[in-house]
Amino acid sequence: MNVSLTILELAVVSLGIAILLVDLWLPEQHRRLLGYTAAAGVGLILVASFLISVPSAEYAFGKMYVMDPLALFFKRFFLLAGAIVLLLSVEFSDRIETGIGEYYTIILFALSGMMFAASANDLILVFVALELITVAFYVLTSFQRNNIKSLEAGVKYLILGALASAFMVYGIALIFGTANSTKFGDILAVAGSVSSNPLFLLGILFVLVGLGFKIAAFPFQMWAPDVYQGSPTPTTALLAVGSKAAGIVLLLRILFSAVPQIASQWTSLLIVISGVTILYGNLCALPQRSLKRLLGYSSIAHAGYLLLGVAAVSMAGSSAILYYLLGYLFTVLAAFTVICIVMREVDNDDISSFEGLHARSPLLAATLSLAMISLAGIPPLAGFFGKFLLLKAVIEQGANEPGYYCLVIVALVGVVISLYYYLGVVRTVYWTNPSPGQASILVSTPVRFMIYACIVGMLYLGLLPNAAVNLAIRAVQVFHL
């Protein structure tokens, strides 16, 4: 039993417990330090993760847990997102009346759940890791318990999350009943004989439904806008990046490591879901006036773009997903950082609160605009190259099935629609004057560095994509495609 493989998760969990305990004895005025410590700790673990190298897949706990390049890629991804979100929570801490120490702790535990999910090689571990993430998010979404919107978000997430878990567990039970194992390796071995069994297919379908809720794909997207709008902003940021990426990595692992034959049989289903998700997200985002809600719909659209890569059922598609997620991380976290800081002045995320932002804080205005341009997919930022890779992967598969060409057209239509609302935000930021009496916004030094890091990330991935693309290609070698 090779316990040392789980060292990164153990480090995050220990950090979480340490923060929880230190919080008991720490005087009120030093609470800010606690958040910085947590962020620095996660940053250190991220740096330490580069000491680990996994030339080939290694297993622990009876092949339940796998450590391979894909797992390591996503663990680093989650650690990076976690460090940024923790810094963002320090910025947010004055708006949380009580229990800020617990807020950091639960973020850390959610982070460990995502990291376990990245290494899951067994449906039981998939379920337990997902539950850890989801239960942590039930608390994180309703953390501002004096704010009625935050509570509404929490209740909605709780009910739909429970429904998703029910689907998931039912699916796992059906798979176990027909394939007689929950391990991905065993399922792959018997998949040839059971893949015609309708109960087995129903099981796979239910597991996909459970994951569909997590990534907010149509028709399981209805929770996303309300929850994104009502939750505390750092929670929304973690939900948009971490929870979605965890759902995607599990989707990739289950579809391409456990049941690759079924994945290639179900391409039409994946194509339809991807196309409808893109159109739904983009069309519903058009009339939104609340920026967080707009980003909620935009995240649905992006789930659709990510599903392009899944629908392609190819190495190129999977590696494009990984690259796209990396760009999405920097972009979305930059956007939510700006929202978080601006909402400190006016407790309102209506787009009109961002009027004349260029005069109040040039840095924030530039960051928000860059993030919107990257989300829209305009060169030279990360979002453009990610969409390019995804569409390229889909077109490559077009020779096998003409449906792929329709999907490309739908995706392009979606991109064009999205230009309208993303650029609308940019227009509000630059082409309006601040209403009188609005002072300029101060940005604290750690947050300033974080914003620079996000901008550098967006530009680097867009201008010099080679290193990241190679990393992504190496990570997806683990799939049986």
Partner 1 sequence: MTQEILFYVFSFLTLLSGILVVANPVSRNPVTSAMFLVLTILFMAGLFVLLHAFFLAAVQILVYAGAVIVLFLFVIMLLDLKEEETRRVRKIGAGIGILAVASVFGLMARTIGTIPPTASSGASRPTLEGLTAPLGNALFKQYLLPFEILSILLLVAMVGVILLSKKDLR
Nearer to partner 1, 107 or 389 (CB): 107
Examine residue 6 and tell whether it contacts partner 1 (CB under 8 A): yes
Nearest alpha-carbon partner for 282 in 127, 192, 154, 417: 417
Number of chain residues interacting with partner 1 (CB under 8 A): 35
Identify whether the C-beta of residue 396 lies closer than 8 Å to the C-beta of residue 309: no
Convert residues 73-102 into a mask of x (bound to partner 1 by CB under 8 A) and - (unbound): ------------------------xxx--x
Nearer to partner 1, 7 or 378 (CB): 7
Q: Would you state the structure tokens that stand for residue 350, as one six-digit string?
A: 């209506």
Q: Work out the widest C-alpha separation in the chain, in whole angstroms.
A: 71
- φ/ψ of residue 313, rounded to 5: 45, 55
Q: What's the gap between Cα 142 and its chain centre?
A: 19
Q: How far is the CB of 109 from partner 1 (least distance, A)?
A: 5
Examine residue 155 and tell whether it contacts partner 1 (CB under 8 A): no
Examine residue 20 and tell whether it contacts partner 1 (CB under 8 A): yes
Examine residue 142 and tell whether it contacts partner 1 (CB under 8 A): yes
3-class SS letters over 254-270: HHHHHCHHHHHHCHHHH
Q: What is the Cα–Cα distance from 260 to 468, expressed in whole angstroms? A: 25
Q: How far is the CB of 136 from partner 1 (least distance, A)?
A: 5
Nearer to partner 1, 125 or 411 (CB): 125
Examine residue 147 and tell whether it contacts partner 1 (CB under 8 A): no
Nearer to partner 1, 123 or 279 (CB): 123
Site for partner 1 in 294-313 (CB under 8 A): none
Examine residue 105 and tell whether it contacts partner 1 (CB under 8 A): yes
Nearest alpha-carbon partner for 227 in 161, 178, 309: 161
348 in helix, strand or coil? Answer: coil
- φ/ψ of residue 350, rounded to 5: -65, 145
Q: Judged by CB under 8 A, which stretch of 104-112, 165-173, 236-244, 396-404 contacts partner 1?
A: 104-112
443 in helix, strand or coil? Answer: coil
Q: What is the DSSP string of 165-203?
A: HHHHHHHHHHHHHHHS--BHHHHHHHHHHHTT-HHHHHH
Identify whether the C-beta of residue 136 lies closer than 8 Å to the C-beta of residue 81: no
Q: Which of 26, 60, 315, 406 binds partner 1 (CB under 8 A)?
A: 60
Convert residues 167-206 into a mask of x (bound to partner 1 by CB under 8 A) and - (unbound): ----------------------------------------
Nearer to partner 1, 12 or 451 (CB): 12
Nearest alpha-carbon partner for 20 in 131, 135, 100, 91: 100
Q: Which of 116, 167, 280, 323 binds partner 1 (CB under 8 A)?
A: 116
Q: What is the Cα–Cα distance from 383 to 405, expressed in whole angstroms? A: 21
Q: How far is the CB of 13 from partner 1 (least distance, A)?
A: 6
Examine residue 161 and tell whether it contacts partner 1 (CB under 8 A): no
Nearer to partner 1, 126 or 375 (CB): 126
Q: Judged by CB under 8 A, which stretch of 112-120, 160-168, 291-299, 454-462 contacts partner 1?
A: 112-120
Q: Judged by CB under 8 A, which stretch of 58-66, 210-218, 325-333, 445-453 contacts partner 1?
A: 58-66
Examine residue 109 and tell whether it contacts partner 1 (CB under 8 A): yes
Q: What is the DSSP string of 210-249?
A: HHHHHHT-TTS-TTHHHHHHHS-HHHHHHIIIIIHHHHHH
CA-based torsion, 169, 173, 176, 181: positive or negative? positive
Examine residue 58 and tell whether it contacts partner 1 (CB under 8 A): no
Q: What is the Cα–Cα distance from 354 to 347, expressed in whole angstroms? A: 12
Examine residue 104 and tell whether it contacts partner 1 (CB under 8 A): no
Residues 6+ apart with CB under 8 A from 223: 156, 157, 160, 161, 213, 216
Q: How far is the CB of 102 from partner 1 (least distance, A)?
A: 5
Residue 230, CA atoms < 13 Å, CB-side half-sphere: 26
Residue found by looking up tokens 């005069």 in the block: 359
Q: Which of 8, 11, 35, 65 binds partner 1 (CB under 8 A)?
A: 65
Convert residues 117-136 into a mask of x (bound to partner 1 by CB under 8 A) and - (unbound): -------xx-xxx-xx--xx
Identify whether the C-beta of residue 440 lies closer than 8 Å to the C-beta of residue 342: no
Q: Which of 138, 170, 176, 430 binds partner 1 (CB under 8 A)?
A: 138
Q: What is the Cα–Cα distance from 390 to 444, expressed in whole angstroms? A: 37
Examine residue 113 and tell whether it contacts partner 1 (CB under 8 A): yes
Site for partner 1 in 378-437 (CB under 8 A): none
Using CB under 8 A, list all residues that contact partner 1: 1, 6, 13, 20, 60-62, 64-65, 97-99, 102, 105-106, 109-110, 112-113, 116, 124-125, 127-129, 131-132, 135-136, 138-139, 142-143, 145, 154
